Copies of this chain bind each other. A is one copy, B any other.
Amino acid sequence: MERHFDEELKNLSESLLKMGILAEKAINYSIKALVERKMELAETVIKSDNVINMLEIEIDDFCHMLLALRQPAAIDLRFITAAMKINNDLERIGDQAVNIAECALEIIKEPLLKPLIDIPQMATLAKKMIKDSIDALVNKDEALARDICKRDDKVDDLNDQIFRELLTYMMQDPKTITRAVELILVGRHLERIADHATNISEEVIYFLSGKTIMHHMEDKKQP
């Protein structure tokens, strides 16, 4: 049974990896829809969200089964509870990608406001944070997880920059308002995605070390 349980934990890891890939793909497509002005790509993201939702339920059920039947302790228990939370974060990343796709559909209706540079850059940073956070989980790499938490500030800075720039556009030309507001919302959604990736990294650190670093607990404990 010990060996069977190891196999089950490996399956759980692989399912989260799959979920992470789906979430990354959803962001990819939603940003591509926005940048290349492709409605059908945005619609694909919206339609495919169901696949992520179903996988979330499957993983959640599997975690419940493991808790009930294997009665895990210590690091195995922490792995399963971390998996439940990470699963939830990945599903919400999928929701944010849907939100971006919906904004894209509105933005595409009107002419191009400006070449999009900062938003794709934010998306690239956010996607890398997701990929690395799942890699940190699978490879039990605490240093990588800690590094990801530090990257969140860069995404926030980019978002602030986008926000200020778009305010200027709106003030100069009221015709840009609808598109600019939608782009501001895209920035917010990407910021939320990076927050979820940070949550995932914090979960990985808790799983590996048993230490909570949510809400910068460690910083606060310093003298």
Contacts and interface: CB of A to CB of B under 8 A. Distances in A.
Interface of A: 50, 53-54, 56-57, 60-61, 63-64, 67-68, 71, 73-74, 77-78, 81, 84-85, 88, 167, 170-171, 174, 177-178, 181, 184-185, 188, 212, 214-215, 217
Contact of A67 (B60, B67, B88, B174): B67
Given A56-B214, A64-B77, A177 B185 contact: no
A44 to B, nearest CB: 18
A68 B77 contact: yes
Given A57-B212, A57-B215, A84-B85, 7 more contacts: A56-B215, A63-B81, A68-B77, A167-B177, A170-B181, A181-B184, A188-B188
27 contacts: A50-B215, A53-B214, A53-B215, A56-B214, A57-B212, A57-B214, A57-B217, A63-B81, A64-B77, A64-B78, A64-B81, A67-B67, A68-B77, A71-B71, A81-B84, A84-B84, A88-B88, A167-B177, A167-B178, A170-B170, A170-B174, A170-B177, A170-B181, A171-B174, A174-B174, A177-B177, A188-B188
A55 to B, nearest CB: 11
Contacts of A56: 214-215
Contacts of A214: 53, 56-57
Contacts of A174: 170-171, 174
Contacts of A184: 181
Contacts of A185: 188
